[in-house]
Amino acid sequence: MQTEIVIETRSLSKVYRDFWGRQKVRALKALDLEVRRGEVFGLLGPNGSGKTTTIKLLLGLLYPTSGQALVLGQDASEVAKNERIGYLPEESYLYRFLNAEETLDFYGRLFNIPRAKRRQKAADLIEMVGLTKARRRQLREYSKGMTRLIGLAQALINDPEVLFLDEPTSGLDPIHTHEMKVLIRDLQAQGKTILMCSHLLADVQDVCDRIAILHQGELKELGRVDSLLKVRDMTEIRTSSLSPEAQEEIRQVVARHQGTVHSIGNPTTTLEELFVKVIKESEAHPGRRARVEEVERV
């Protein structure tokens, strides 16, 4: 993984106002984030925590109230940055009266891709997401999972450097979920940077290198997944070939009873447990950063 920062937010804040300019909700409060080239970064948080707002600010779909959102070194409102990014929206907001080929052709034209290359690219992507048989069917006839897949294909039409995936596995069956995760890892292997947000914690745990947990518009947790899931106040010893008697005295006599110590270290919790814990702490102490671990440098 490289150290070049491709996505950065600096004290990024967003306040939603009503027609008269009165503050409705403070969706994001001074968010500082850095995503490096080649990593898969996950944004987590309950509903209304500000993760979708963050993605929309980074895409230029919303304008920040204060602070800065930078993508590939350019301001998020710059159209030029869109040449190098891909976006899979939460609900695959696509034109349902088009079929898969027309959809990809249309988005390809928006990137000024020449016709021959566009068609080839569209065919490749349709094959990659496994929709070859349904390529002539209108999207209105697609299942939710199929729509997600064609949504991903349109996000990849320009071979982007940075991918924004909003709930990439929602609506997918287990097979497609697995394929999506493999695909995300493949894309990472190709050097692409991926920022994703999801409610499906297991999926995030599986594919993300680092995560940030947001609650009520504030950053509550940020770090590497393996680091964050490590339970530091516990020690785990993994053994084998022990009799039941020896197990009772294992702490004192593991060595004396000639058991083989495979590993001694900290056990990991699940991301779900961590998530619930962070949110509960946040609710108990509003406004306080729960715990920010040192970000492990690669």
**Site for other proteins, rule CB under 8 A:** 16, 56, 59-63, 74-75, 78-80, 82-83, 85, 87, 89, 91, 93-95, 97-98, 106-107, 109-112, 151, 154, 158, 164
Rank residues 110 and 234 by Cβ distance to other proteins and give the closer one: 110
Please report which residue ranges of 68-143 form alpha helices under DSSP H. Answer: 100-110, 115-128
Least gap, CB of 146 to other proteins (angstroms): 16
Least gap, CB of 176 to other proteins (angstroms): 20
Residue 168 has which token pair?
């990439």
What backbone phi and psi angles, to 5 degrees, belong to 130?
75, 35
Alpha-carbon distance 10 to 186, whole Å?
A: 30
Rank residues 16 and 173 by Cβ distance to other proteins and give the closer one: 16
Rank residues 16 and 295 by Cβ distance to other proteins and give the closer one: 16
Beta carbons of 133 and 144 less than 8 angstroms apart: no
Query: Which residue type occupies 20?
Result: W
Least gap, CB of 112 to other proteins (angstroms): 5
Residue 218 has which token pair?
């504030």
Least gap, CB of 164 to other proteins (angstroms): 8
Please report which residue ranges of the chain form alpha helices under DSSP H. Answer: 51-59, 100-110, 115-128, 144-155, 174-189, 201-207, 225-228, 244-248, 250-253, 271-284
Rank residues 158 and 188 by Cβ distance to other proteins and give the closer one: 158
Least gap, CB of 251 to other proteins (angstroms): 56
